[in-house]
A and B are shown apart, each in its own frame.
Chain A
Amino acid sequence: MKKIEAIIQPHKLDEVKAALIGIGVEGITISEVRGHGRQKGHTETYRGAEYTVDLLPKIKLEMFVRDSRAEEIVAVLSTAASSGKIGDGKIFVSSIEEAIRIRNGDRGDAAL
């Protein structure tokens, strides 16, 4: 099993969701997060005084999938989330030891 985490631009969420559902992804968890990457935000002025917006709003997606599907999902996800500009985000893939369905105790791939 793999965990796919993606941090994307909030305005790309709908497109990404549609693409993932389109290839049959069944479970997604999303959260609203704030953070910065290499650019470390940008400066704005408020009533004439400068301030730095260093933690920008982003969307974090988490999916737990069978090993065989991971590559395809990553490919679809990165296409859908891309605008070609700085700040598009990142995707992380990691291995998962175990999954359990709380309702009936299913384990492994059956629980996904």
Chain B
Amino acid sequence: MNAEKQKEQPLRQAFGYVLFKGLRLAITAGLAGILLFPCLGQERPKPDPSGLTTGDKTSVVDAGGASFVVAEPTDKTAPDYAQKKKDFDEFQAQAAKEPLAVKLADATGHIRIATNFAWTLNTGYLVLFMQAGFALLTCGLVRKKNAGHLMMLNFAAYVFAFLAYYAVGYAFQFGAMAVNAAPGNLGGTPTLNHFLLGSGFWGFLGGKGFFMAGPAYDAGSNVLALFEVVFMETAGYIIVGSICERISFWSFLLCELFIGAILYPVFGCWVWGGGWMSQLGNTMGLGHGYVDFAGSTVVHAVGGFCAMALSVVLGPRLGKYGPDGKPRAFPAHNLVYVVIGTFILLFGWMGFNPGSTLGATDLRISVVAINTNLAAISGSATAMLFWYWKFGKPDITMACNGMLAGLVAITAPCAFVGPTSAFIIGILAGMVVCLGVLFNDRVTKIDDPCGAISVHGFCGILGGLCLGLFADGTYGAGWNGVGAASYLGQAGRGVTGLFYGDTKQFLVQLMGAAICAGWAFGATFIVFKMVNAVRPMRVSKEVELEGLDVPEFGLEGYPEDALSVTAS
């Protein structure tokens, strides 16, 4: 016991030292960022912390998103300058004649933004609640002796990934939002306008809003920050499902800091922050660029493939594979948690997908909500029936995994497809998750206690591809700045998949999904293979056999079960 303690001490000091150094570096970099970057930007829009100036007459748009306010043309050499100048003068004259109407428009614009704030914040709170669902789901799926550890992992994931996202993650992901992807529904966040790496259509990393301060100290930006941080958390806790029952707490914290600071924000910037992948339509004529509506790939596949890499680094749980290499079952210890957790996740998903419009004034939200539910039930039905047919009894945990698989797969295409497609996507996801679980268990032998790799990784990729197949062109005209006037020779046509005539959209989806899996798996594997070489990330064999609760946190998940002497 003493020898063990002595051995632990220097390691603990080393860990503390690294953490201290890292934090100091992050704070220095952050402060430098806050002070420096506002000077570098050419334009200097002011942040609006009070929310008084966010939303005015320029935010009043028709159903197609066109504003009635005509901006003054600046480029005098443009061929249509004369026409634009004439339109502008007419608008000015009209406005001067009707000052009350302009005032009313200012108020209407403010209310429009307020409606969208309310929608986005409230759906964000739903997504936050998914954390509780996932904690219950994963805790129920593991053995009783690790229940406390599982809950702590889920809890600490929120705290530590948030820390990293607060310091640098948010700035990396959305620091250049206004360049190519200004969220008009939230007032446009004009202060987040600088790429740290790259520029224009080829942005690789955002560069404003470190520590959510300075240009990010803005009402619109903070709505975005709240909504996006809970998305990042989703990728952050997904890994728990694969690495549980054997990872040590200190190395888990490193994983969370890595996801919150680098892994998630980088890919997120490329797709959602106006980065290079979202602009492939503008730069290379590939459909609407890479499109992922609510994060099948950006959130779920990133989490799933990160989990896969970590699970490979860690190796399977002791006893998972017999000497003959046959997989053994470690049955779930609480099916009640598993089912309640799944329902909470389904409920939270009603924020995850419909909320991703970032505004209730986008009436597509109802279609998104129904599509999301349809995929959930068809995914679950497929998994239930598949298991019924293959093993004679439907497996409750696989029925739950099937529902989540459907939800993950519909997350990218949910806004762009119709109900029939959503239902089919759910069926495909139900098949993929069943085969994925069996494939990992029997062929790759990557131990995945809760099926996170199959549910979030494989079905996430499936979701990205399904968008490229099933998108029917009814929604998303002008998405990522492509085809605002007309697309595929049709006015108002939106994002379109292979089955509806746009091969290029499917190609860019295929490429984007591959990049996602490669980035999430590759970056995680390299970083944590090195960490694991410096100090093994797994708990000792004895600890794993005993259960991680007491050795890591000093208390059983269910203390009343411990056979201790309490009669005193």
Contacts and interface: CB of A to CB of B under 8 A. Distances in A.
Interface of A: 44-51
Interface residues of B, number: 17
Nearest to A49: B329
Contacts of A47: 329, 395, 397-398, 437, 441, 451
Given A47-B395, A48-B442, 9 more contacts: A45-B329, A45-B391, A45-B395, A46-B331, A48-B327, A48-B391, A49-B326, A51-B329, A51-B331
Contact of A46 (B329, B438, B442): B329
B437 A48 contact: yes
Contacts, number: 33
Contacts of A50: 329
18 contacts: A44-B393, A45-B329, A45-B391, A46-B331, A46-B332, A46-B395, A46-B397, A47-B398, A47-B441, A48-B327, A48-B437, A48-B438, A48-B441, A49-B327, A49-B329, A49-B441, A51-B329, A51-B331
A47 B335 CA distance: 13
Query: Interface centre among A44, A47, A51, by most B CB within 10 Å?
Result: A47
A53 B437 CA distance: 22
Contact of A49 (B328, B332, B393): B328
Contacts of B438: 48
Contacts of B331: 46, 51
B392 to A, nearest CB: 8
A30 to B, nearest CB: 21
A46 B332 CA distance: 8
A44 B387 CA distance: 13
Interface string B291-332: 000000000000000000000000000000000001111111
A10 B397 CA distance: 26
Contacts of B395: 45-47
A50 B441 CA distance: 12
Contacts of A51: 328-329, 331
Contacts of A49: 326-329, 441
Nearest to B395: A47
Interface string B396-430: 01100000000000000000000000000000000
A95 to B, nearest CB: 32
A45 B392 CA distance: 9
A48 B331 CA distance: 11
Query: Interface centre among B329, B330, B438, by most A CB within 10 Å?
Result: B329
Contacts of B397: 46-47
B11 to A, nearest CB: 36
- Per CB-CB distance, the 9 closest pairs between chain A and chain B, nearest first, are A46-B329, A51-B329, A49-B329, A49-B327, A46-B331, A48-B438, A45-B391, A48-B441, A49-B328
A47 B386 CA distance: 12
A48 B439 CA distance: 10
A34 B395 CA distance: 24
A46 B392 CA distance: 12
B439 to A, nearest CB: 10
Query: Interface centre among A45, A50, A51, by most B CB within 10 Å?
Result: A45
A112 B85 CA distance: 109
Contacts of B391: 45, 48
B199 to A, nearest CB: 48
A13 B189 CA distance: 68
Nearest to A53: B331
